[in-house]
Structure 1
Amino acid sequence: MVGRASIAHLASAATICTLIMLGFSAPAEGKNLKFSLISKDIEDINFINAWRGCSDAARRNGDECLHMGDTQIGYFRGQLEAINKAVALKVDGIAISVTNSAFIAKDGLPDALDRKIPVITFDSDLEPPDQPLRRTYIGPNNFGIGIRLARILKEKAPKGASICIMSGGRFDPNLNERIAGIRHELRRTPENPSLNSTPESAKSPLTGENGWTEDDRCPLYNKGDDNLGLSQFAQAVQNTTTDFIVPVGAWLLGDPERMAKIMAIHGPRAPQLVMATGTPSDEQDRLTRKGIIDGYVAIDFYRMGELVYQQMRNFATGENVIIAEETPLRIRMGGDIQVGENPM
C-alpha cells in the first residue's frame, strides 16, 4: 500500500514543477509577508490553536498569519468566501482545511492559482482528483488516525463489538479518511493483514466482519455543530446494543461537563467512548482518568500551525522545500500515554 504521505509528496512535486514553468515568482527579499490560514470553523479551539501556532511563528519573522473562514453555520460556502477575500488581499500564501473538496476546487482555488498565490492544505486535504490545485499537505495521516482508533477498540474488545461512529460533514475529506481507517483496520485479519480491505470496502459500514458491526443509524453527522453533536450523543448512548461510540472529531468536548452528565445518567450501561481530539485539555485528561473517555488519539494543532507557516513561507520565498515532519499525535487508553507511531 502506498502511504498517503508518499502520494501527497509526488502530487506536490508535480504541481511545483508546473507552477515554476508557469512563471511563479518569489517576493523580494526583506518583504514582510502576509498569509491566510482558512479554518473549517474559526471558533473551534483546535483551529484557534493552529492559528496561534501559525501566528506565533510568523511574528518571529516579522510576518503575519491571518485567521479566516466562517463558523460551522457557513460551512464550506464560508470557506469559498474566505478564499475570495484572501485573494483580494493579495496574500503571499493560503492554507486551507478542506470541508468540501469539489466545491472549492471548482470555485475559489483556481482563482488563487491564477493570481500565483501558493496554496497548501492542512488538517484536511483535497480529494485526489483535486490535489493538483495545492502544493502540498501539512497535517496528520488521517487514515492512520482511524487505524489507531480501531486498534484501541480491538484492544478493548478482541472479539468484536457494535460501534456508532460520529462525524462532522458527509464531505469532509479528513473525517471520511478516519472512518475509512477504522473500517479498514477492523476488517483486517492476522492471516491477511493488508489485503482483505480495500479503499472501496472501507467506504461501507461494518456488517459483522471479525465480530464488528455498525449501528444502522450511524454515522451521525453534526456539520461541526457542538450542540448538535452532544444531542446526537445523548440519543446514541441510549441504544443498549451499542458497545462503543467513536467520534472522529472533538465536538463532544465543546461542553465536557454536559458530556459527562450524559454518560453518568446511564452509568455502567453506557457505551464506551473512544475519540479523536485536538490537543488534550486538563479536563479531557481528567475525564479519561475517571473512565468517562475510554481512549483517544490527540492531534497537536499548535505544532501543525507552526509547520503550516513554515511551509507557506518556503513557497512564498521560492525555496520550494516540502516539510517532511508529520504533525505529532498522542494516544491514550486509560492511564497509558504514548506517542503515535506509523500504523502502516
Structure 2
Amino acid sequence: MKGANILMASVSLAMLAGGAWAEDKVLAIVVKGLDNPFFEQINLGCQKWNAENAGKGYTCFYTGPASSADEVGEVQIVEDLLNRSDVAAIAISPSNAPLMAKMLREKAPSIPVMTVDADLSAEDADLRATYLGTDNYLMGVKFAEHLKGLKPEGGTVCLQLGNVAAANINARAAGTRDTLAGEKGIERLEGQGGWTEIAGCPVFTNDQADLANQQMADTFTANPDLTAFMLIGGWAQFAPQAYAQVTDQVMAKLTDKSMVIVAGDTLPPQMEALKAGRSHVQVGQRPFEMGYRAPSVMIDLIEGKTVEPIIFTGLDECTQETADSCIGG
C-alpha cells in the first residue's frame, strides 16, 4: 500500500509537470491522507488560489498518501518532493511529527518548508519557517469550556484522539485536560476539576472513520453512565451514516443531556449531526483558509519576506442553538 501511495503522488506530480503549468514552480501542500474530507477543504483552497493566480509562475499542488494511517508514506512523499528541481517550497501537515522531523533534519532542505494544519513538535520548530493553521491548544480549551458549561458538576469522560504522534491532536488534548482540571500539565484526568477519564480511554483512531465509530459504540456499551464523549478530531462524523447508527443507541441520553458529545470540526455532515442533536458542540477549524493562504505564505518565504513563525487561522464555536450562524471564515 505504501508503494501505491508514493506512486500516486509521483504520477500526480508528473501530470502537473506536463500540463498547462509545466513552466511553473510548484508550491506543494502535503497532507496526512487523501481519505480525510477535512483535507479536501485544504485542496479546495489550494485550487481557488490556482484559479486566481494562473500565469504568475507558481502552481499550488495538493498531495498526500492515500491513507491517513500511512505515516511512513507521507514522509516518503515529502522526501521525494524535496528531490525535485521544480518544487520551490513545501507546506506539510505531519501525521507523525517526530518521524517527519527526523527526515527533515537529515535532509536539510534548501527550499522553504512550512507546516500547515499540524505542526512539528516544539523541539523541532527550527525545521520549519512558519506554521499556518489552528491554535490547537486553544481549540482544546474551547472544547473544555463548552463541556464545563454543559456539565458544571463534572463527571466521567472519554477522549478520542488520532495518531499517537500527531502534535496538533495532542495539543488539543492538553488544552482540554488542563482546562477541565483547572491546572497545567495534566496527563490524565483523575478527579481534577471533578473530571475522570474512564478506563480504556483515550482511544486512538489513527484518523480512520470506521475505527472511530466502532470505538464510540464500544465505549457507550461498556460505560452506560458516561457523562461525556469528546471527539478531539471529527473522524467518526466523517462517516455520517455510521455515526448516526452509533449515536442512535444513546439518542435519549443525548436529547436529555445526561450524556454530551463535544467534537472537533464543522464540515457540512458534522453540522447536520449537530442540528439533529447527535452532538452538542462543534469547534471548527478553517481548512479552506489554510489551503488558500499557504501558497502566498510560501511565496513570501521564497522571496525572503518576513513571515511570522506562527499564523493562526481562527476557530468557529457552534452549539445546537447557534448552528445556523456560527461559521465565520
TM-score range for the pair, normalised by the shorter chain length: 0.7 to 0.9
1:95 and 2:95 correspond: no
Paired AA for residue 292 in structure 1: R
Structure 1 residue 291: Cα displacement: 1.4
1:236-247 equivalences under 5 Å are: 236-238=219-221, 239-247=223-231
8 A contact 2:318–2:327 mirrored in 1: no
Distance change in 2, residues 1:57/1:112 (3 Å): farther
Rounded to whole Å, the distance in 1 between the matches of 2:107 and 2:239 is: 39
Using the size of structure 1 for normalisation, the TM-score is: 0.81
The CA deviation string for residues 40-62 of structure 1, in whole angstroms up to 9 with x for no partner, is 11221111111221232134223
Aligned to 2:71: 76
TM-score calculated relative to the size of structure 2? 0.84
Distance 1:276 1:180, change over 3 A: same
Q: Give 1:109 deviation, angstroms.
A: 5.3
Deviations 1:123-142 (A, max 9, x none): 11110111100001000100
2:154 is equivalent to residue 160 of structure 1: yes
Task: Give the Cα–Cα distance (whole angstroms) in 2 for the partners of residues 249 and 311 of structure 1.
Answer: 26
| d(CA) in 2 for partners of 1:215, 1:111 | 42
| TM alignment of 1:126-137, pairs within 5 A | 126-137=120-131
Query: In 1, distance between residues paired with 2:169 and 2:68?
Result: 18
Per-residue Cα deviation, 1:258-300 (whole angstroms, up to 9, x for no partner): 21122112332463211011x420x432321221111110111
Residue in structure 2 matched with residue 118 of structure 1 by the alignment: 112
- Partner of 1:237, secondary structure, is helix
Q: Distance in 2 between matches of 1:264 and 1:215?
A: 22
Is residue 272 from structure 1 mapped to residue 272 from structure 2 by the alignment?
no
Partner residue of 1:42 out of 28, 34, 41 = 34
Mean Cα displacement is larger for which, 154-163 or 101-110? Answer: 101-110
Partner of 1:331: 317
The 1:74–1:224 alpha-carbon spacing in structure 2 relative to 1, beyond 3 Å, is closer
Does the CA contact (< 8 Å) of 2:231 and 2:262 recur in 1? Answer: yes
- Give the equivalent residue in structure 2 for 1:64: 59
Contact 1:112 1:119 in 2 (8 A): no
CA distance in 1, matches of 2:306, 2:112: 10
**Do residues 175 (structure 1) and 169 (structure 2) align?**
yes
Give the Cα–Cα distance (whole angstroms) in 2 for the partners of residues 324 and 74 of structure 1.
Answer: 26
In 2 relative to 1, CA 52–286 (structure 1 residues): closer, same or farther, beyond 3 Å? closer
Q: Counterparts of 1:104 and 1:325 in 2: how far apart (Å)?
A: 21
Structure 1 unaligned blocks of 5 or more: 1-30, 189-196
CA RMSD of aligned residues (A): 2.1
Q: Is the 1:87–1:112 contact (alpha carbons within 8 Å) kept by the matching residues of 2?
A: no
What is the aligned-residue identity percentage? 25
- Counterpart amino acid of 1:53? G
The amino acid of 1:89's aligned partner reads R
1:54 is aligned to 46
Seen in structure 2, the aligned counterparts of structure 1 residues 109 and 340 have a Cα distance that, compared at 3 Å, is farther
1:258 alignment partner, SS class: helix
Q: Which residue of 2 aligns with 1:261?
A: 245
**Whole-Å Cα distance in 2 between the matches of residues 321 and 129 of structure 1?**
20
- Structure 2 residue runs without a partner (length 5+): 1-22
- Post-superposition shift, 1:97? 0.8
Aligned partner of 2:102 among 106, 129, 134: 106
Map of 1:230 onto structure 2: 213
Q: Which amino acid aligns with 1:326?
A: F
Query: CA-to-partner distance for each residue in 1:139-159, whole Å, 9 max, x for gaps?
Result: 010000000000110000011
1:86 correspondence with 2:81: yes
Quick check: 118-127 or 329-338, which moved more?
329-338
Change (3 A) 1:259 1:72: same
Shifted more, 77-86 versus 149-158: the winner is 77-86
Distance in 2 separating the partners of 1:74 and 1:166: 16
Helix, strand or coil at the partner of 1:164: strand
Deviation digits for residues 194-214 of structure 1 (CA, Å, limit 9, x no counterpart): xxx23xx33x11111121111
Q: Distance in 1 between matches of 2:123 and 2:160?
A: 26
Stretch deviating more after TM superposition (223-232 or 315-324): 315-324
Q: Distance in 2 between matches of 1:325 and 1:40?
A: 20
- The change in CA–CA distance for 1:107 and 1:323 in structure 2 (over 3 A counts) is closer
**Paired residue secondary structure (1:92):** strand
SS at match of 1:99: coil
Paired residues of 2:180 and 2:192 also in contact (CA < 8 A): yes
Pair 1:73–1:276, CA change in 2 (3 A): closer
Letter in 2 for 1:84: E
In 2, the alpha carbon distance for the partners of 1:179 and 1:72 equals: 23
